[in-house]
Amino acid sequence: MVHVCTIVPISLTVGANRIIPAVAIPYPFGDPAKTPEEEYAIRKHIVEKSLKALQTEVSEQTVFND
Amino acid sequence: MSFRVVHYINQFFAGIGGEEKADHRPEIREGIVGPGQALQAALGDQATVVATVICGDGYFAENIDGALEEILALVAPYKPDLLVAGPAFNAGRYGTASGGVCAMVGEKLGIPTVTGMHPENPGVDMYRKNTYIVETADSARGLRKAVPVMAVLGLKLLKGEALGTPSEEGYLEKGVRHNVFLSRVGAERAAEMLAKKLRGEEFVTEYPMPTFDRVPPAAALKDLKNATIALVTSGGICPKNNPDHIEASSASKYGAYSIDDLDKLSCEDSETAHGGYDPTYANADPNRVLPVDVLRDMEKQGVFKKLYGTYFTTVGNGTPVAYSKRFGEEIAQKLKADGVDAVILTST
């Protein structure tokens, strides 16, 4: 499992092992200030990072930054 | 008038025997037995231990319902005003039995009950809400210290005296909140705590955080191309009008909804039930919280084999940790049973 969330310290506290930082609390996978195409690209980037994290062996809690 | 007390102990403290006598069936004896002597000394002339009920830990653990019935039938004729059990220290079965007897006798006879356990005894979490559990050491070496605290607490309960905080009275928190007025507002108290923390001084929190368990990381996904990926969220995304009425805060349930026929989520079919963040952006485009559109496109492109046909969702907003744990366990079981290889959990 990979946890995509904005407040990474909470994710660390509750014990997620693979963590992807998200954009913002009300829109973790988007940005309403951007065009729909740009938003889709942001979302795709986070999902791709998530899939990569899922394929990465970890031995402890790991935050996958860009 | 002296109050009447019945004392519950196991076969070991009754001097009957150790593990080889753990199947000892419930019996009751007049007066004090074993640690009852220390209990009677601590109660003084205000209360009298009129009888001691004894049960083997193994017998209790293997026949919980039956044993409780038998124990109640033995205790009731003595018309106790208070039941004291143990202390059980860190003995798991003894703690479970002590807590169980306290809870049942307290409920059926309508009397106060007190027991004693080490904080890590499994009986604590099972019965802390149903009885008063005095904090003890992990072994019988703590008897002399624990019994007087149990006696004082029992006498206060008998006389209906107001209790102080759990730490003042020496018992483990029952999870009960009382409103109290303090002379200084919360902001002042919090700032003072922060200052103490920054100076490296000791301070006592007014709201202890729950403790979270840890799980070892799952192995890496080996074969993405043939993987089934599932989506789970605490961001409250649900079908329009929230058909199962998932609560906006302190959720008591989660939902499971099909996305088999959807290429993406839209404001026509989905929304958020979450009451802890501004829902404007999620309601306008729910893919911002649950990225169904991107995952569906990747599935079509063959990046992975399948987007699992159901997403699981709840509202993570003041939701009790115990509920979250249960939701997680149930969801994980269903996903495993359906052969899901990996999960993307999204949170707001």
Tens digit of each residue's pLDDT (9 = 90 or more) over B169-197: 999 999 888 888 999 999 999 999 999 99
Facing B289 at nearest CB: one of A29, A39, A59: A29
pLDDT greater than 70 at residue B19 = yes
CATH 3.40.50.2300 maps onto chain B at 3-169
Q: How many domains does chain A have?
A: 1
Is B212's CB within 8 Å of A13's CB? yes
pLDDT greater than 90 at residue B246 = yes
From B88, B100, B84, B85, select the one nearest B139 (Cα to Cα): B88
Q: How far is B151 from chain A (nearest CA, A)?
A: 39
Query: In sequence order, which residues have a C-beta less than 8 Å from that of residue A46 and are 6 or more positions away?
Result: A4, A20, A22, A23, A28, A29, B291
B33 touching chain A per CB within 8 A = no
Residue B32, both tokens: 């004090």
pLDDT, tens only, B201-244: 999 888 877 778 899 999 999 999 999 999 999 999 999 999 99
Is B293's CB within 8 Å of A14's CB? no
A:B CB pairs within 8 Å = 113
Give the separation between CA B157 and CA B97, rounded to whole angstroms. Answer: 22
Q: Report yes or no on whether pTM surpasses 0.80.
A: no
Give the separation between CA B23 and CA B135, rounded to whole angstroms. Answer: 27
Tokens 């209906």, residue located: B160
pLDDT greater than 80 at residue B160 = yes
Is B345's CB within 8 Å of A16's CB? yes
Strand ranges inside chain B, DSSP E: 3-10, 27-30, 47-55, 82-85, 113-117, 132-135, 228-233, 237-239, 255-258, 270-272, 306-307, 310-313, 342-346
Give the separation between CA A4 and CA B288, rounded to whole angstroms. Answer: 12
Give the separation between CA B305 and CA B308, rounded to whole angstroms. Answer: 9
Facing A55 at nearest CB: one of B220, B277, B279: B220
pLDDT greater than 80 at residue B59 = yes
Residue B277 with chain A: CB contacts under 8 Å: 25-26
Is A4's CB within 8 Å of B293's CB? no
| 8 A C-beta contact, residue B345 and residue B233 | yes
Indicate the CATH number for domain B3-169. Answer: 3.40.50.2300
Give the mean model confidence (pLDDT) for residues B303-330.
93
| 8 A C-beta contact, residue B40 and residue B84 | no
pLDDT band at B283 (very low <50, low <70, confident <90, very high): very high
Residue B213 with chain A: CB contacts under 8 Å: 15
CB-count exposure of residue B161 (10 Å: 0-12, 13-18, 19+): exposed
pLDDT band at B90 (very low <50, low <70, confident <90, very high): very high
Facing B342 at nearest CB: one of A16, A44, A54: A54
From B171, B146, B4, B162, select the one nearest B86 (Cα to Cα): B146
Give the separation between CA A44 and CA B92, rounded to whole angstroms. Answer: 51
Is A58's CB within 8 Å of B220's CB? yes
Between residues B207 and B314, which one has the greater pLDDT?
B314
Half-sphere exposure of B227 (CA within 13 A, CB side): 20
pLDDT, tens only, A30-50: 999 999 999 999 999 999 999
Domain limits for position A26: 3-63
From B80, B100, B98, B82, select the one nearest B90 (Cα to Cα): B98
From B260, B256, B249, B257, select the one nearest B317 (Cα to Cα): B249
Residue B293 with chain A: CB contacts under 8 Å: 40, 43
H/E stretch holding A18 reads: strand A18-21
Distance from CA of residue A15 to its chain's centroid? 15
User: Cα B146–B151–B155 angle (5° rounding)?
Assistant: 155
Is B348's CB within 8 Å of A15's CB? no
pLDDT greater than 70 at residue B165 = yes
Chain B, nearest residue to A2 by Cα? B344
Residue B219, both tokens: 């192995």
A37 touching chain B per CB within 8 A = no
From B291, B223, B235, B306, select the one nearest A54 (Cα to Cα): B223
A28 touching chain B per CB within 8 A = yes
Residue B214 with chain A: CB contacts under 8 Å: 15
Query: For residue B87, is the peptide bond before it cis, meaning its omega torsion is within 30 degrees of 0?
Result: yes
| 8 A C-beta contact, residue B280 and residue A26 | yes
* Phi-psi domain of B203 (left: phi exceeds 0; alpha: psi -120 through 50; beta: other): beta
pLDDT greater than 70 at residue B1 = no
Q: How far is A63 from chain B (nearest CA, A)?
A: 13
Backbone angles phi, psi at B238, to 5 degrees: -155, 165
pLDDT, tens only, B95-145: 999 999 999 999 999 999 999 999 989 899 889 999 999 999 999 999 999
Residue A43 with chain B: CB contacts under 8 Å: 287-288, 291, 293-294
Pairing of strands B27-30, B47-55: antiparallel
